[in-house]
Chains A and B, each alone.
Chain A
Amino acid sequence: MHRRIMGLESEYGFLFTNTGDRIFPPERALEYLFQGIMQNSWSRDAFLPNGGRIYQDTGSHPEYSTPECDQVRDVVIHDKAGERILSRAVETVSHQLEVEGIDGHLYVLKNNTDSAGNSYGCHENYLIDRNVTFWRLSRTLIPFFVSRQILTGAGGLVRKADESVRFVISPRSLHIREKISCSTTSSRPIINTRDEPHSDPQKYRRLHIIVGDSNMSEISDLLKVGTTALVLEVIEGGGLHDRMSLEDPIRAIREISEDPTLSVRVRLESGLELTALEIQESYLEACRDFFHKEGTTPAVRDMLDLWEKILFDLSKWNEPVLGREIDWVIKWRLLTRYRDRKRGNWEDPALAMLDYQYHDVHEEKGLYNLLRKSGCVDRIAGDSEILSAMEKPPQTTRARLRGAHIREAMEHHRSYTVDWTYMRLNDPPQETLHWADPFNAAEVP
């Protein structure tokens, strides 16, 4: 796999419930949360010493953007570090509220849907070669993204108009209305056309993908970014054509999401009808062929093998194994077991609660975190790596420079303005550092 700049932006669900007599507005609780991350600052938009960015998105969500990474595994580690930064802030705020005598609970959820049918996203960013025709790229990618959810879906319960509840593979998929557009809220596309490469626009463009679910499982997260990076490299290398184009991708993405048995067939423009598994197997095979010819590395081999293994286990419905690995099966297993134990049905509010609480970033209350600590899920990252990434940027991209200079400015109490490509020290002589090349991790002399 050649070096590529990648990153994830995750919007978090946020809720503060006041349980005591003293009224404390949720907006104040959100303010406290930001202060829990950036002490002595009232800012709600800041780059952190680990090179990432935390900000308040429209609609009062905290949003965390990972620093620029050039390894898939680093993306996962930094995405998980974002969760920990928020969970630590929740603890700080909870303690502070207790001291101030305010009764209430703060919840920060790394999920994508609320109970009123709103959605907020996990946006993936990949720096791609400007010379690849965007039209060809998009056409070739759409069937991949439509079917990718069987690896990367978060799983979840969805209430229908008649109040019945069903389990879907990817809750986010049900909010997708178009193939490609510039919208992120009204009519969400699979591929968003936002093109801010934060680097040389002659050489690169930014591919902004908003169809994916936020992942708790490190393996789902790794597959989300890793399989996409492989497919992108094949397309950039001239391989993989649009022979898989779907007749109606928006209908297909919904149908696949609504069918945890993985048996639904979707229609291609060619007239063929394939399952999501078959579509994914076809992309996998094209990637294997390409890297077999072009040369491979251990990282590519590992990713191809993991992709193949998960598809194979899905085709055999190896639930005990997948139930430790990928989000939607982990959650399916939890929900069905819990439902059966309580002899309840999908409509039981406790199951909706379980669905939400799986995504709670809280180290003790979050159910994914509970599974992690109990050794019930398989992982690809170590706790020490994640804890380190809360403070330390990736050392192989310009995030290293941003992080180091932010840390230094903070230590010396210097005023500064920082963005993805530069940092200005506001005190005279207002020195500005430029980091136009995201691949460059060394100080420019």
Chain B
Amino acid sequence: MSQKEKESRKRDETEETPSEPEVPAGAQERAKKVAEEADDILDKIDEVLEKNAASFVKSFIQKGGE
């Protein structure tokens, strides 16, 4: 069994014992940062998102291909 497999098996075993929800150091901060980034990106999306969504969606018809 390779080292990787051992690690993978070990992970499987820990999955069965849901007693230690230890959050890795920095994970929460990272999550917070990601959330902030996401808000920021939604503002940017609002700026470029086509305003005439309904009519675009209606007219976006392809004849098929392949």
- Residues of A whose CB lies within 8 Å of any CB of B are 11, 13-15, 17, 57-61, 63, 107, 109, 114-116, 118-121, 123, 184-185, 188, 210, 285, 288, 292, 304-305, 308, 312, 320, 323-324, 333-334, 337-338, 341, 349-350, 352-354, 356-357, 364-365, 367, 370-371, 374-376
Contact = CB atoms under 8 A, between A and B. Distances in A.
22 contacts: A13-B60, A14-B62, A15-B56, A59-B63, A60-B62, A63-B65, A107-B60, A114-B61, A116-B61, A116-B62, A118-B62, A121-B65, A121-B66, A288-B2, A292-B5, A320-B34, A349-B53, A352-B57, A353-B53, A353-B56, A356-B60, A375-B37
B49 interface: yes
B59 interface: yes
A371 B57 contact: no
Contacts of B25: none
Interface in B1-33: 2, 4-5, 8, 11, 30-31
A323 B48 contact: no
A285 B2 CA distance: 11
Contacts of A58: 63-66
B48 A365 contact: yes
A185 B66 contact: yes
A107 B56 CA distance: 10
Contacts of B48: 357, 364-365, 367, 370
A15 B4 contact: no
B42 A337 contact: yes
For the side of the interface on B, what is the size category?
20 to 34
Q: State the 3 A-B residue pairs at the shortest beta-carbon distance, nearest first.
A: A59-B63, A353-B53, A184-B66
Interface of B: 2, 4-5, 8, 11, 30-31, 34-35, 37-38, 40-42, 44-45, 48-50, 53-54, 56-66
Secondary structure class of chain A's binding surface, majority of residues: mixed
A109 B57 CA distance: 13
Contact of B65 (A57, A352, A370, A375): A57
Contacts of B49: 350, 353-354, 357, 367
A312 B37 CA distance: 24
Given A118-B61, A353-B56, A365-B50, 18 more contacts: A15-B56, A58-B64, A61-B62, A114-B61, A116-B61, A118-B63, A210-B66, A288-B2, A305-B4, A320-B34, A320-B35, A323-B34, A338-B45, A356-B56, A367-B45, A374-B40, A374-B44, A376-B37
Given A320-B30, A367-B48, A353 B57 contact: yes
A115 B60 contact: yes
Contact of A119 (B4, B44, B64): B64
Contacts of B65: 11, 57-59, 61, 63, 120-121, 185
Contacts of A353: 49-50, 53, 56-57
A312 B11 contact: yes
A352 B11 CA distance: 39
B66 A320 contact: no
B42 A115 contact: no
A273 to B, nearest CB: 19
Contacts of A13: 60, 62
B16 to A, nearest CB: 13
B64 A118 contact: yes
Contacts of A305: 4
B32 to A, nearest CB: 10
Contacts of A118: 61-64
Contact of B45 (A63, A320, A354): A354
Given A15-B59, A349-B53, A185 B38 contact: no
A28 to B, nearest CB: 16
Nearest to A296: B2
A59 B63 CA distance: 5
A121 B66 CA distance: 7
